[in-house]
Amino acid sequence: MGNPTEAEPPRLRTPPSYSAAARRALAFSAVAITLLPLPITYFGILPAYPVHARFLLFYAPFLCLLTLSYLFYIRDSLARAMFADVLDPPSPPDPYHYERARERLGRWFRHLKAITLGILPALLVITSMYCVSRYLASFNQSVARAAEVYVERAGTGEEVGMIKEKQRGRVPTASGRASRQPVPRDSATVDTMPQPSDSRAVRQHVLRTSSMESIPEVVKLTGLYIGAFVALLVAVTLMALKEYAKEAMGLSEHELMFGRYYQSNE
């Protein structure tokens, strides 16, 4: 009589799992993206108004951290959505039974959700790149508009002339003559009013002296700037959460590809 163990079919060899390394890499990437606005803003890698940069230096990392925390908070719902076909695989259609419209709609919705979750990280990366390109274009338009406003105000009245006299260290006296007064060194760069014909100096002036209220399209610039980092963070976090969920559910690479209840042909 033969050994009963010899009659058992050979089991499929479980492929090695690379989830641990992938999880560590994705988790590190998520943390790095959360802190990425700090050096980007501080060193001016993406151009910004100085007063606006101080605003972004705080709120961009804060919103990235808030987004990361929220995605971690709803990780259970995301995991069930990502692995719905593995945890609760749909029954195959019965060729002898007419499938109702509700069943066809449910099956179509499952396929659509799986496709959407599969391509969502790539779409978010593209969205981040789009936000960066639109931010650069909108920033140039904003600076150009601010420079136009400066030129318009510079040629409208005598107030600018008074400022020019003050720049040269002269202030008008009661007799109408201008007398030379010492100009404080600390205010030399702040009070300098460039000539409207010098476009480069005007650009630097409006960048340096514009307040938050006077920046054209400041809301759009803020949304595009922060959106570039948040979209990239969500893309990386979704991939990381999928790896964490797969490990928590005990899914192997074979089950992930073929389904938990997949039966191989013997």
Model pLDDT, residue 101: 72
Model pLDDT, residue 94: 63
Amino acid at position 130, single letter: Y
Enumerate residues 6+ apart whose C-beta is below 8 A from 169: 180, 181, 182, 183
Model pLDDT, residue 233: 95
Model pLDDT, residue 228: 96
Model pLDDT, residue 259: 57
Model pLDDT, residue 184: 47
The pLDDT tens digits along the chain (266 residues) read 445 544 444 444 444 555 677 778 888 899 999 999 999 999 989 999 999 999 999 999 999 999 999 999 998 888 888 777 666 666 666 666 666 777 677 777 777 877 888 899 999 999 999 999 999 999 999 999 999 988 888 776 433 333 343 444 444 444 545 444 454 444 434 446 788 778 888 889 999 999 999 999 999 999 999 999 999 999 999 988 888 877 777 766 666 666 555 444 44
Give the span between the Cα atoms of 252 and 135, in whole angstroms.
42
Model pLDDT, residue 188: 39
Give, for 232, the enclosing helix (H) or strand (E). Answer: helix 218-248
- Residue whose pair of structure tokens reads 């419209």 in the numeric block: 101
Model pLDDT, residue 112: 81
Enumerate residues 6+ apart whose C-beta is below 8 A from 71: 78, 234, 237, 238, 241
CA 111 to chain CA centroid, Å, is 28
Give the span between the Cα atoms of 199 and 80, in whole angstroms.
57
Given a contact cutoff of 8 angstroms between Cβ atoms, the answer to whether 141 and 149 are in contact is no
**Domain definitions of the chain by residue range:** 17-91+102-167+188-258
CA 105 to chain CA centroid, Å, is 34
Model pLDDT, residue 21: 75
- Local structure of residue 176 (DSSP, 8 states): S
Give the span between the Cα atoms of 17 and 247, in whole angstroms.
10
